[in-house]
Structure formats: structure tokens, C-alpha cells
Amino acid sequence: MDTAEVRRRFIAHFEARGHQAVPSASLLLDDPNLLFVNAGMVPFKPYFLGQVTPSYNRAVSIQKCVRTPDIEDVGKTTRHGTFFEMCGNFSFGDYFKEGAIEYAWELVTGSVDRGGFGFEESKLYPSVYEDDPEAVELWRKVTGLPDERIVRLGKKENYWSMGVPGPGGPCSEILIDRGPAYGADGDFGAEDRYLEFWNLVFMQDELSAVRSKEDFDIAGSLPKKNIDTGMGLERVALLLQGKDNMYEIDVMFPVIEKAQELTGRRYGKDHDDDVRFRVVADHIRSSMMLIADGVTPGNEARGYVLRRLLRRAVRSMRLLGCEDRVLPELMPVSRDKMGESYTALHSDWERISTVAFAEEDAFRQTLRTGTSIFDLAAQEAKAGGQTSLSGSKAFALHDTYGFPIDLTLEMAAEQGLQVDEGEFRRLMTEQRERAKADARAKKGQHASGGAYRTVADELGRAVQFTGYDEVVTEARVGGLIDAGGASVRSVGEGSEVELVLDRTPFYAEGGGQLADQGVVELGNGARVEILDVQSPITGLIVHQARVLSGEVTVGEPAHASVDIERRRSISRAHTATHMVHKAFREALGETATQAGSENAPGRFRFDFSATGAVPQSAMVDVEARVNDLVLADLAVHAEIMTQDEARKSGAMALFGEKYGDQVRVISVGDWARELCGGTHAGRSGQLGVIKLLGESSIGSGVRRVEALVGGDAYRFLAREHVLVAQLSEALKARPEELPERVNDLVERLRAAEKEIEKVRMAQILSAAGELAAGAKDVFGVGFVGHRVDGANAGDVRKLALDIRGRMAAGRPGVVAIIGSSNGKPAVVVTVNDEGRSWGISANALVKVAAQALGGSGGGKDDVAQGGGADLTHVDQALVDVEHAVGRAATAR
């Protein structure tokens, strides 16, 4: 049974039993605790937490998931990968344990002819939480299985929670016995033998404290009992297809087959190669699905994970022996298999492939650059008598150049060097901690979410956002979180606090739009300045604030006022972003899809997919197009509709954004239409003018345009006008003649610089003949040691080689020249053929000079160069080289 059929049967089974089929949510959700959706229930969390009331009591979904903590272990086990699909059926206060068990057992054991999976009952073992006798009785009742076939397990295996205070409950798994070849009889801890493929979570408890998976407090029962099911699609597929592991199922193994064709290696012959083949199959699929949901390669957070996955896939293919471009060969194979279920992989393939292939090209260049840098670092380590490459060097290669640590380790071993992995790991850990701290600072200081949930529970409902219709709102203080992360009842003057109102006009940062700022005045006379606004958990809007005067108390009435000028300025920028997005798609094609944005007061930046730099002509056309539509004064209006209605209307949904069943569509006239939750200008004419400042690359296949709007754009253009007038006056030329006049001046200046350089080099080299003729005799070796101030490394090299060429033939000769440029010395040592026949090496001599100068150097026996940091020891360095020449000559 192929994977698509497993999926179809799961959905059909539960639809026939009254469940609403819900499409998979994006892998990206606005949750401070999650980088990606990592479980099938994640999109339904607001329902389980009581923050949002669902429009249905039963649901079924096949949810895309990505888990990243163990990327380096992918392929080493046969059942874990980064991307996977979780089949789930959910009950929100409807059926509970008995219904969940019945539905699961019917599908799992039902005959294939009647839409079931057809698993043999004799191989199945339900597991239950050891303190849940009710579940034991229900399994007996529903299945008729004897007691010894129902396995009791502890909290670690069979109790579920989110890891934080909130809903939880015992769970019940369905295990399948794969036979003695996979482990001992009755050893239910051996997951290969008794493979779990279905998990029923009986969400019935309210947890007040969660200290670990097995250590928590139960405060009481939930007001509504819920069901959360997770069935691993890949695990069921491998069982029904008779495969040993998930990498061999129909949606993954074709990539391995293609990789075998490209590399000439065979899967199943060598363990290390098998791991690499699995890494390729997993990472190709995971990367493709992440790009499809709007992630682009980068150096932070989600972008870094994607970059790492793509580069590990390319690196694994290189280790398998293929050094050509591989993504154009492998990714279409994965697309064709996954595209059976996710048709957008085909319709959006041009954008997806552009991003992926550009990242591979960038990584190939990184490998070339990183290899050169590694070679230099290894050379320096060996020259210094070291047997190990420092962890800081390995970290710099990884962090700055994207050079994989496993490649550094491999190349170091080839050079007979070790790598200080301890230091490397420490630096990596410090970097991760800094990144986490930055994320916490951005989303609020308490990313664990415990304090937020406490406030949300006390509030009892989602915070109402009134900012679409008003900028002043009467509200009530619903919660306070102090600087230490605790929910408190009051705070005093001067305090930094996170303030929650029951309703607010302040827009929380999201969708690229910066947060509102303003003031909240309380009924007791207290005054609070709003500095930032975030939505750390669904349904909660949190104002990061400073108490200017008085005392702020929970329950106090509040008068909330948005900074209206800031709001208007940001709203104009947001509307301009929509217009520029549409204009770029018209100019460059449908692949120019937004990949990020920031809408700030009076300015915005807009990131979009592109294969290369945007032609200047396209920039001019886009700017003209949007400003024509500004002049047209188009109405900007918002509509609420279903997602299907929005798609039919031509509205564009941005990848990575979270949209509900009901969506808000912003239209600029009948021209630009997008799903958007932000605030906007009332008409395009209110934007005044849009000025594109320029575009640049911010990553593989992603360009960034920065622009000004309204008054900021006008002031910029006014400054430009003044500058043009000043240049026209200085050059005595009309404005339209300035480009030609400036170009002429630049060409003349370049010609003059070349002439000056020729004269300078002639002056430097003019002394070559005299220096060669005056070579000092050092035990039979002609030696020239000379200092040239104001000469860079290139100048020094030319002079040293010129002097060597002028020295008397048939006599050993050594030239050592030290120049100085920008306050630092540069040294070059050359030795002629006769000198090398005497055993004199430029490589050895340059190290003598560099040591005196406080630096390092190296090269070949005939020419070597180096540098240093101490100009005060130039004369001593020349003396040291002369002495070294003497020692070499007398030792001959």
C-alpha cells in the first residue's frame, strides 16, 4: 500500500465518522516555543487550551512536521527523520477514551477491501498508562484481547504533556510485534521489536507544574476532555510496504536510487554509506518542504536549519563520491513523489528550485573558499610545531564561511592534525545561547510561556484587538508580568512590566509590521508608556511597558492611546509593501514571491525570491508603476472571507504566515490583493510617494529592496535635489549632463592614478641595480637586506625579485626586503638558484624575519613572504636574517 493510499484511507475513515477534514497547517507557526510545527496537535493547541472555540467538535488532519534537535543523528537510526507527517484525529469535548479506541482499532485491523489497514490482530499490543485501569477495561471491551496482550507502562512512555503547565493526560499506544529478528520476546522497551505507530492521548488533566516528563503536579480535571491522536504516516507505510525502515518507503527510496546512480555506490553495502544515503533522502525532502512553506536559507533560526539541511545533503553526496551539482538531479525526484499529496510543490517549483539550487551553488563556492582558508590554517599550525587545529579556527570556518565541522575534522586528519572539538563545541554552545537570549528579548523575557498562560487563564478569553477601527480604547488591566517573569497583581513607578489588557488598540508585531507604541492611563491616575507589543501565545497580546507614574494594578480601568502618527506612518509603509510586491511580480514574474518584510515608520524593506540581481530598468519600472497607482488614489479595503473564497478572489497568501479558517484580505483597488492581518492606509493616495532606494542580495536566491514612503520619501528626494543642484554648480553642467561629466572625471582620475603608480614603482625599483651591486658578502653569499617605507607587500615582492635578477651570476644570493604600509611591516625573502644549491631556503629565512616582527610567514624555497605587527624591530629582523644566512653558509 503506497503512502498516498495510507493517507487517503486515514482521512476517509474519520470523515465517515463525522470528523472535519482540516488541511495541514504551515510548518511555521507564530509560537515563541517552536521553531517549526513538531507534532500533529500543534495547530489545535488554542482549542485544547480553551483560548479559541472550534467550529467543529471532531477533526482529522495529516500534519506536516519537522523536528530538528537531532539532525546529526539522522540516518543513524532507521525510523527517525527531520520531516515527517502525523495523521491525527481529534475530539474537542466530544467522544473520549472508548470512542478513540474503537475508531483506531477499526482502521488498524479493518480489512483492506473495506478501507482498513489490515494489520493482523495477533501481532498487535495496546499499551496503557499503568495507573489508568479504565483504559485497560476499554481495550478488553473493544478488542476482546486477553489481559496479557495489554502492556502497562509508566509515565515516561504513556503519559503526555506539553512540557509546561496546561492540559495533559495518560496515553495509549498501539505496538506491532515485528518478530524475534528485531529483539527479545516481551522486551517492550526494544522499540525495533515492538514498534509504536499509533498514540492515543486522553487529555483529561490540568497540570499545574511540570518539572520533567515524569515529575509534575495535577491540579485537577479539565472542564472538557479531549482526544489527540498521532499516527506516524511513514511508520505505517513502512509496515504495510514490508520495509525495514522509513528511508525505504515509496516516497523516500527513489531519492536513494537516484543518489546511487549519481555516485556509483550501492545502498546496503556499507554502514557509513548507508547513513549518508539516508541523510540525503531525508534532508532533500525536508529542505524542499521547508522552502515550500516560505523558509529561505540564512544564518539564523529557521533559515539556518534549512541551510544546514541543504549543505549536509550536498556534503553527504560529496562523501559518496559525487562532486557535481546534485540538487537539480535529486530534488525533482522527491518533488514528484511528495507532489502527489502536495500539489503546490509542482505549481511553485520554479521558486522552490531557485532557492535550493542557489544555495548549493553558494555552498560549492564556500567549499572552495573554506578549503583555501583551512589549508592556510593547517600550514600555520604545522609551522608552529602544533599537532592540533584550535577550536576557534574550526568555529570561524563554520560560523563565518559555513564550512561543516565534519569536513574540517576529515581534512585535518588527512594533514595529520587533530581539532580541539571541546573548544569548538563550547563556542557553538555560546552562540546558541546568545541566539536564544536574542529571541527571548524579542518575544518577551519569558519564552517558557508559563506566566503568559497563567495570565491567559485568569483572563478567560482571547484579548480583543480593536485597532482596525480605533486608536483609543477603554479597557481593563487583565494581567501583569514583572521583570523576573512572574505574574503579579501590581507594580510601581519606574517598573519595567509586561502589561495585558482585556482589549487593546495596540497592534502586536507580526506579518512584518512593527508594533505600535503609545500610552495607557489608568483610572487611579497611573501612567504607562508602551514600548513594544508582542503576541507570545495565541490569543494573548502583551504590551512591554514602563510605568511612568503611579501604581498599576490588575483589574484597574485603563484608557489606551496609540501614537497615531507612528501608526499612520507604519500603515502607509505596509500598504506600500503590498503594492511593491504586486509590481515586482508583474515585472519579474510569479516567482518574485515575498520572502520577508519589515514595515517601519516611513520606510520598509521587502525581501523576495529572485535568481539574480534585479535590472535597474526593472527597478525604475516598478517605482513608476506604484507611484502611478498612488496618484490614482485607489481605495484600500479589508474583507473577511473563507480561505477558499480568498483563493478564488485571487488573493495571495504569504508563505510562513498563519491563517485561520476565516481570513482578512486587503485589496488596493482591484489590483493588489493579499491575505494580511496588518493595518493599512485608507487610500493609496495617502502614501504620497514611494521611493525605492536600491536592492541587494541577502542570501541564496533572495533579494532585498529598501524603500521610503510619504514624508520620508519626500525629504529624501528634496535632499537629492539639493545635492544635484550643488553638483551642477560645481561642475558647470546641467543636471542631465551630470552622469557624463562625472564619468569623464572618474576616467581621468583613474588614468592619473595609474600614471602615479607607475612613477611610484619606478622610484622604488630605481634602487634595485645599486642595491644588487652593493650586496654584502656573508661567508660567500651575496646578501641584500633593505627597508622600504611606504611600500606594500606587492611592492616589496617586485623589488626583491628585481634585485635578485640583477645580482651577479654564479654566486649564491639572498635578498630580504621589509616594507611598511598602514603601520604594519611586510617582508619578502628571495634566494637564487645558487643559494638554494647551498641549502639556503627562503621559507626558513622569512620565518626568522617574521618572528622578530611579531608575525608569521611562509612560502617556497625560492620566494617566501610574511608580515607582522611591530615596525620597531625591522632593523633587528634584517640582522637576524643575515645571521641565519651566515649559519646556513658555514654549515654547508
The one-letter amino acid at 700: S
Single out the residue of 265, 289, 297, 296 nearest to residue 278, CA to CA: 265
Task: Answer for the pair 282, 80: CB distance below 8 angstroms, yes or no.
Answer: no
Q: How many H-runs (helices) and E-runs (strands) does the chain carry?
A: 26, 35
Give the sign of the dihedral formed by CA 139, CA 142, CA 145, CA 146.
positive
Contacts of 342 (CB under 8 A, 6+ apart): 289, 292
- Name the one residue in this structure whose C-alpha cell is 518478530: 179
CA distances from 792 to 738, 753, 803, 868 (A): 36, 16, 17, 13
Cross-strand bridge partners of residue 597: 606
d(CA 887, CA 882): 9
Per-residue burial over 778-815, b = 16 or more CB atoms within 10 Å of its CB, e = otherwise: beebbbbbbbbeebebebbbbbbbbbbebbeeeebbbb
- At residue 247, what are phi and psi to the nearest 5 degrees? -75, -15
Is 680 labelled a binding residue? yes
In angstroms, rounded to a whole number, what is the distance separating the alpha carbons of residues 292 and 734? Answer: 51
Q: Please tell me the distance from the alpha carbon of residue 618 to that of residue 444, in angstroms, as a whole number.
A: 40
Contact by Cβ (8 Å): 831, 862:
yes
Contacts 24+ apart (CB under 8 A), 622-629: 622/580, 622/583, 622/584, 622/587, 622/692, 623/690, 623/691, 623/692, 625/583, 625/586, 625/587, 626/576, 626/579, 626/580, 626/583, 626/690, 627/689, 627/690, 629/579, 629/668, 629/669, 629/671, 629/684
Instruction: Convert 456-483 to b/e letters by CB count within 10 Å (16 or more is b).
Output: bbebeebbebbbeeebebebbbbbbbbe
DSSP string, 238-255: HHHTT-SSGGGSTTTHHH
105 Cβ contact partners less than 8 Å away, ≥ 6 residues apart = 142, 143
Residue 574 annotated as binding site: yes
Rounded CA separation 647/469 (Å): 25
**DSSP letter string, 745-773:** HHHHHHHHHHHHHHHHHHHHHTTHHHHHH
Q: Is 13 annotated as a binding residue?
A: no
Beta strands 464-465; 503-504: pairing state: parallel
DSSP3 helix / strand / coil % (the chain, rounded to 5): 45, 25, 30
Q: C-alpha angle with apex 540: 535 to 543, nearest 5 degrees?
A: 60
User: Within 13 A of 186's CA, how many CA atoms are on the CB side?
Assistant: 1
Spatial neighbors of 657 by CB under 8 A, at least 6 apart, are 26, 28, 294, 511, 675
SS3 295: coil
Residues 6+ positions from 744 with CB-CB distance below 8 Å: none
d(CA 668, CA 637): 7
Whole-angstrom distance, CA of residue 676 vs CA of residue 761: 63
CA-based R_g, the chain, Å: 34
346 is annotated as contributing to ligand binding? no
Binding-site positions for Zn(2+) read 574, 578, 676, 680
Binding-site positions read 574, 578, 676, 680
